[in-house]
Amino acid sequence: MKQEGTRNGVFTRRALLLMAGQTAALTALGVKLYRVQVEQGAKYATLAESNRVSARLIAPPRGRIVDRFGQVLAGNTLNWRALLLAEETTDVAATLAKFNELVPLEDHDRARVERELKHNRRFIPVTVREFLDWDQMARIEVNAPDLPGVLVDVGTTRHYPFGPDLAHIVGYVAPPSEADLGDDPVLALPGVRVGRAGVEQFHEEDLRGDAGEVQMEVNAVGRIIRELDRRDGTPGDELGLTIDMELQRGILAMLGDMAASAVVMDCTNGEVLAMTTTPSFDPALFDSGLSQKQWVEWTSDRKTPLINKATAGVYPPGSTFKMAVGLAGLRAGTIAEGDRINCPGYIDLGATRFHCWKKHGHGSQNLHEALKHSCDVFFYEVARRTGIDAVAETANRFSLGVDTGVDLPGARIGLMPTTAWRRRHGHQWNVGDTISCGIGQGFVLATPLQLATYCSRIATGHAVVPHVTRLIAGKPQSGSSLDDFPLLDVPEDHLAAVRAGMFAVVNEAGGGAPHARLGLPGMQLAGKTGSSQVRRVSRWAREHGHFNSASLPWEFRPHALFICFAPYDAPRYAVAVVVEHGNAGADVAAPLARDIMRDTLTRDPSRRVVAPGQVASSAT
């Protein structure tokens, strides 16, 4: 009995200890549950909701690009595409084979689809083909029972209503590369494109917009169950360009199939009203898919359709450079406006003879007459007296050899050589180099846009800066009058002297470009021709009359140039034309510039106002 009582006492104590332990455990559990459910309930509810709801970004619509009158130059259109859900077909290969029978796939499309199927989970859709037309969509839908896992979806793509007509200004878009992605999650979204050239590239951040968000209900493995909420993205800003599309198209029709460039500028505010390059290319192909055959065709074309000749084509300016040399001589005091220089048809420097284009020379010439007749010997001598560094300093003031400040990517600065530049390349500058540069040959190079800016600055005396962007989201982006640009610090009488010489080129008897006369009542044009050689002509060939550039193969003929401004008494517009291997500026470039100026003055786009809604949009 005593032992039994002892055992009962031990059991009772153990039971009490066990109960105490259970009570402590239950108390701790209760405290924990209270904290989880009451104190931290909101936190865990949010975590649970996050596991159930997946928030995903939506690519924003890209901003539109319009011309100065609201004509859409780049917009967005629907892009129908075929997607494949691997989990909904038992035989992916058979499905793709059937799809290929209905809508043929390129080898690179097949390789891409196979690669994405290997890397993606089976419930994630893979794009099989984009840019489906109506017939292709119909074939897919009619044969849907034979295409398990294939569905037609809609996205957006960039649309260029005028195609090649504006390719070099507007540019084009393409899928972002790995180097583009960085820390911006928007660039990783399906269907997002980035600008690769032109305005599309220069204003990429303005055009891109802000991403939207869609909330999707998903299961434990991430499969989408249904869409819960959607907030569309904010479209990119609309860009209004300075371009007059109808003027642009008119100039392109004039240039035809020549390898050429023409620029029209408003002298008073720097607006580029037209900037043409021929030949051109279709920018939409970079988005929809560029074939190897097309790429080879473009890159092997000796007329270089992919290059924006207006901003990236560099050419010896030829005789159009003579105004800069004359101004440099006037500023340096090495000549005065009435000083005369004799032209016997050549100038000798040691054993080297530099020829004038007129074999027997022009005789005694002053600055006005030398510009009118485009006498080479006069400007050889002015350049020799003035020196290349003083010529370069003046040329730089007029935008030659420096950045024009245009709001386009890839614009080149050409070349205005100096003695220091020559030394950096391991050579000493010599007088013969200066003489060659005196007529815009030698090392001197300029773009058509620089030549138009140069002409605008001569016409106005102000440091006008060219630009193609007029509005961003409705806000003006540049100066609106000459007062917004500083004076060039060049005496007005010097500028008046070269303007008068340019006037004589076109309007006085014996001038070098009579074909450039406007023929508009009360309006006259002032301009200057240029023909820049691309290969050296021997002294023997010149002196024996065996040189005829028109008989040379196309690629060896001189470039034809002409720059001008009008009206002469109140300059408003400047035009620069460069025809690659066009031979004679007076015969080829000058009539083109005249017709372009006539069209510009008739349209008068800088002063023309279009009522809101007058121009219909062809894209969204």
CA-CA-CA-CA torsion sign (171, 175, 176, 178): negative
Residue 477 within a domain: no
Amino acid (one-letter) located at 457:
R
Which CATH number does the domain housing residue 502 bear? 3.40.710.10
Residue 216 within a domain: yes
Strand (E) or helix (H) holding 214: strand 212-218
Mean pLDDT of 315-322: 96
User: In terms of domains, do 67 and 183 share one?
Assistant: yes
Distance CA 484, CA 477 (A): 12
User: In terms of domains, do 350 and 379 share one?
Assistant: yes
Closest alpha carbon to 380 in 320, 337, 439: 439
Residue 330 within a domain: yes
Q: What is the pLDDT of residue 286?
A: 85
What is the token pair recorded at 604?
Answer: 């008068």
User: In terms of domains, do 501 and 370 share one?
Assistant: yes
Distance CA 294, CA 288 (A): 13
Residue 106 within a domain: yes
Catalytic member of 261, 280, 319, 531: 319
Dihedral pair phi/psi, residue 271, rounded to 5°: -70, 130
User: In terms of domains, do 316 and 465 share one?
Assistant: yes
Q: Which residues contact 197 (CB under 8 A, 6 or more apart)?
A: 168, 171, 172, 283, 308, 409, 410
CB 92 within 8 A of CB 115: no
DSSP 236: P
User: In terms of domains, do 347 and 456 share one?
Assistant: yes
Which CATH number does the domain housing residue 119 bear? 3.90.1310.10
Residue 285 within a domain: no
CB 535 within 8 A of CB 528: no
Tens of pLDDT along 76-98?
988 788 888 787 788 888 998 89
Banded pLDDT at 146 (limits 50, 70, 90): confident
Residue with tokens 């008073």: 268
Tens of pLDDT along 433-487?
999 999 999 999 999 999 999 999 999 999 999 999 999 999 988 777 888 999 9
Instruction: Tell me, yes or no, if 280 is annotated catalytic.
Output: no
Ramachandran quadrant class, 474 (left: phi over 0; alpha: psi -120 to 50; beta: rest): left
Amino acid (one-letter) located at 534:
V
Distance CA 589, CA 320 (A): 12
CA-CA-CA-CA torsion sign (370, 376, 379, 385): negative
What is the token pair recorded at 518?
Answer: 């406007």
User: In terms of domains, do 237 and 186 share one?
Assistant: yes
Mean pLDDT of 238-253: 97
Q: Which residues contact 593 (CB under 8 A, 6 or more apart)?
A: 262, 516, 527, 562, 563, 564, 575, 576, 577
Number of structural domains, the chain? 2
User: In terms of domains, do 237 and 252 share one?
Assistant: no
Residue 12 within a domain: no
Residue 291 within a domain: no
User: In terms of domains, do 190 and 132 share one?
Assistant: yes
| pLDDT, the chain, mean | 86
Q: What is the pLDDT of residue 546?
A: 42
Q: Which residues of 469-494 are buried (b: 16+ CB within 10 A; e: fewer)?
A: bbbbeeeeebbeebeebeebebeeeb
Residue 229 within a domain: yes
Mean pLDDT of 371-380: 97
Query: Could you give the percent of the chain with pLDDT greater than 70?
Result: 85
Closest alpha carbon to 238 in 14, 492, 62: 62
Q: Which of the residue ranges 217-231, 312-326, 470-484, 532-546 would you say has the lowest mean pLDDT?
A: 532-546
Strand (E) or helix (H) holding 95: helix 92-102
Residue 491 has pLDDT above 90, yes or no: yes
User: In terms of domains, do 390 and 515 share one?
Assistant: yes
Residue 144: count of CB within 10 angstroms of its CB: 11
User: What is the residue range of 179's domain?
Assistant: 56-241
CA angle 554, 555, 558 (to 5 degrees): 85
User: In terms of domains, do 226 and 270 share one?
Assistant: no
Amino acid (one-letter) located at 12:
T
User: In terms of domains, do 204 and 268 share one?
Assistant: no
252 or 532: which leads in pLDDT: 252
Q: What is the pLDDT of residue 481?
A: 85
Q: What is the pLDDT of residue 121?
A: 66
User: In terms of domains, do 276 and 416 share one?
Assistant: yes
Query: Could you give the percent of the chain with pLDDT greater than 90?
Result: 57
Mean pLDDT of 569-583: 95
What pTM was computed for the model? 0.82
Distance CA 49, CA 169 (A): 49
DSSP 163: G
